[in-house]
Structure 1
Amino acid sequence: MRNAALNPASPGQSGRRLPLSALLALATAVFITSLTETLPAGLLPAMSAGLRVSESATGQAVTIYAIGTALTAVPLTAATAAWRRKRLLLTTVAAFAVANTVTALSSSYLLTMTARFAAGVAAGLAWSLLAGYARRMSPAHLQGRAIAIAMAGIPLALSLGVPAGTFLGAALGWQIAFLIMTGLTVVLFGWIIAVVPDFPGRRRDGQAPRPRVLSVPGVAPVLFVTLVFVLAHTILYTYIATFLDGLGMGASTDLILLVFGVASLLSIGIVGAHIHRRLRALTVASALLVAVAAAVLALWAGSTALVYVAVTLWGLGWGGAPTLLQTAAGDAGGDAADAAQALLVTLWNAAMAGGGIVGGVLLDVFGSTSFAWSTLVLLAPVLAVVLAARTHGFPAQRR
């Protein structure tokens, strides 16, 4: 590979085993990042009452988080390129602790939104950093598996963290749920200090400017696939409760999300085991599985059993997608991998914010049945670009 971060002399690559404790610390950071973003969705009514604003206004706590990430990931990644990696990681973790504490203690809507934006800014740095950190601390032949372990925090947050946070919010109050997040972050801070190795940053004169990054063969296809794939997924996932309500299955939303989460974890295991040799095949399979799931939901959602089958296929397709896309971006970016990752994070969060907006328009104009059809239509160009980018972006054989 061409990535300078994968220099054989780098510490953490001298052994033949994965640094499991350090990778689990990164997975916990991913978990906290993902859960901080999505937790307000499960606490919406209580937060709305506490802040004395409408639920739709409170729902913007998720949107402004994504906006903070999308706006700042690229410039902040470039500005901190020379920082030592452990120092930068600890800074982002500390920022999450402060932002969640302010959110828990605030009774002001404006202050809460400011804290949420700040958390999104920290997330932009974290997402740009974590995948590369996992690669850098692991032997070359296990880097895909290392990223899979680190990214396992995403489905854990969605399938277990949000329901648990919602339960705690109902039982103890929504402020307590955010304070528990702060407590987890403080524990993570000490864990990182104890077990995560440090690495130097990159010299500023070795950092590729944005236009050069986009001109690197393979980067543009990976970024396009990221943008459209995440948009397709987010339209359906954001409004899954509304979609299920339309089918008369609203009471089963928690169980269906649990099925999705378990299938996602299985997907991460499969991807981690085979990504080193089968990145292209796994990416094609990922998009195909989500497309088949969307087709089933579009055509045969009247069958409860087929809905569960579709959600299982969806989870199997989507769970490993973050690992696949971040690995593809790192491979394609080469020496400019950090810049490629920052652009990926920006587009990822733009797609998440856009998914909520597009889904809302679809719901108002066409109704909830349009979600699955829209996802299916968007996945057609995703598959086309993955199949076309067989030399660069999603090559048949990784270097």
Structure 2
Amino acid sequence: MIETVLDIQTIRKDFPILNREVNGKPLVYLDNAATSQTPQQVIDVIVDYYQNYNANIHRGVHALSQEATDKYEQARQKIQKHFNAGKGYEIIFTSGTTHGINLVANGFSSLLKKGDEILVSAMEHHSNIVPWQMLCERTGAVLKVIPMNEEGELLMDEYSKLLSERTKLVFCNHISNALGTINPIEEIIEKAHAVNAAVLIDGAQAAPHVKADMQALDVDFYTVSAHKMCGPTGVGALYGKEEWLNKLPPYQGGGEMIAEVTFEKTTYADLPHKFEAGTPNICGGIAFGAALDYMNAIGFDAIAAYEHELLEYATEQLLSIEGLRIYGTAKHKTSVISFNIGGIHPYDIGTILDKLGIAVRTGHHCAQPIMDFYKIPGTVRASFSFYNTKEEADALVSGVERARNMLL
């Protein structure tokens, strides 16, 4: 195993919350798949905005408005560069991944007809299932599911069989939030395009771990949330190919998204403003850019290598616990470990871990179809980030062993 080159202790000093205690114990934060923690460098940007140039953006002639506008649009450029989008206006600011998915689903309401088919994978978050079900109800389109196996991998042969000239859209997460599986999105996109279907990839769980390249992937839509990658909550981004964004109608009406309004007719603004009605989360957008700066300074290759090291170490240690089963054993996965022990309810394990200062997520992780597949009520999910340590993995293992001894 190659040891990490990251200076983890120095990195940890950037995150003030990691110094606190929970229930009298040092915080061990292993709920990064739900939301990551925020470094001081990003917190400082948020404070600076509200202290020094808080103003509404675009169209303002005064200095504060111009400064805020410049910073906000610079953040858009940072997101464009990070994801290698072809054009800045192909980046739409959203409130998060769910917003981005709903924006696309709403737009396709006018493009689909009865009998059209849309495909979704069996391991999706509810936010990448429910909007498409709603779309099918509105249009008469048919939702079909790409199945998975016991290891938590998609059955790609079955995917190929599902594709046809009736397939108009394909949706899949890049990485499963419940299992950690890294899906073969390159193959998914290529095969979908072969039948002229558009593809939306939910990148919420992938963005903290890998640097997705929009040009290389040739994906039609890709959505992310800032709070998964060291940024604030309530802001995210949707990448869409220009040709598709021009086909879709606006998602919301209001200020900013218009070119001209009369009581007889309204004409819409050009991209990206067509999809950005109302006052946006200005501070959040700027902080999102700062979070990308922070993570890129560390380096995504280094982050991925270290997190894989943590994954292997924690997996090996957890499997030494009698009766523990890990759900999601795909060959390619990221630093998420979902597990159960015998007949113990995951909530009970999570509650005991919390008493020990260890933060994990329990339940179905907004992925009930996955839990139904395994015939379980939920799992305990430990998800690691680049600021976690092997000592924290040891604390998790010790805590799980303690919970097992108490509950069995």
For normalisation by structure 1, the TM-score amounts to 0.31
Higher Cα radius of gyration = 2
Structure with the larger RCO, 1 or 2 (CA within 8 Å, 6+ apart): 1
Larger helix share, 1 or 2: 1
